[in-house]
Amino acid sequence: MSTSAPGIELLARGPWAADAVRATWREDAFQPDEAATAAADRKIDELRERGSPWHDGTAARLVSFEARDGELHVELQPIRWALRLVEEDAHASLSALCVTRAADGRWLAGRRAAWLSSWAGRWALGAGGAVDPGESPADTLVRELEEEWGVVPERVQGEALLRLPQGMTMFLGQAWLPEGAEVTMDHEHDMYAWWPADPSAWPAEADEPLRRMAVMLS
């Protein structure tokens, strides 16, 4: 994933230490218009029909950011979780992706379950999800890694802040596991693998966006 990828905009580039990522939360929640609300309702209905256990909720929206002096400051606002599913405009909903490496440099890859709202049935790197209310995106990286794979990283850092084509924003981070760490796959995945440290040796199921992301982070 790089600025050369179609429609992806690099807003800020790290690296940032986890404690250098600071979040300020607004008290007022984002209020979508009726069309966006209806579109989000339809997306939730579609997920239920596919057997998804998700039941909506509250997540984060990126209002503004500032990157300077080795720190990233983000201003966040509560937003309805389902608005991130609206393909026409995700209203700057914020996700965090924790690309995860073994101590020897291998990459943790998991095939996402068919009922998920994004990248269903496709391979992805590490762990990711919505930023919870009151949470720093750096804390989201660690939480999602523990929830999805049952491990705590030895080291984690923020790498980039991105804007995706559908209006989603993403905090991209990278984590390294301690020597000998073992992962436990959660219900959001149906298969996992450790891909080689050299992305050129990755299997065919590693699609081009994943390879671009690895090059960016190497």
Average pLDDT, consecutive stretches of 10 residues, N- to C-terminus, the chain (218 residues) = 63 97 98 96 88 84 97 98 93 97 97 81 94 97 97 97 95 97 93 96 93 90
Domain membership flag for residue 135: yes
Domain membership flag for residue 4: no
The number of domains in the chain is 1
The one-letter code for the residue type at 129 is: G
CA 51 to the chain's CA centroid: 22
Residue with tokens 């209806």: 38
Rounded distance between C-alpha atoms, residue 14 and residue 138, angstroms:
12
Q: Are 47 and 120 in contact (CB under 8 A)?
A: no
Model's pTM, two decimal places?
0.92
Domain membership flag for residue 28: yes
72: part of which helix (H) or strand (E)?
strand 71-80
Domain that includes residue 153, residue range:
9-217
Helix, strand, coil % over all residues of the chain, rounded to 5: 25, 35, 40
CATH number at residue 33: 3.90.79.10
Rounded distance between C-alpha atoms, residue 152 and residue 13, angstroms:
24
Domain membership flag for residue 163: yes
Exposure on the CB side of residue 88, measured as CA atoms within 13 A: 7
Domain membership flag for residue 204: yes
pLDDT at 5: 56
State whether the Cα torsion 60-116-48-88 is positive or negative: positive
Tell me the three state secondary structure of residue 139. helix
Residues 6+ apart with CB under 8 A from 158: 14, 15, 16, 17, 18, 20, 21, 72, 137, 138, 141, 171, 172, 173
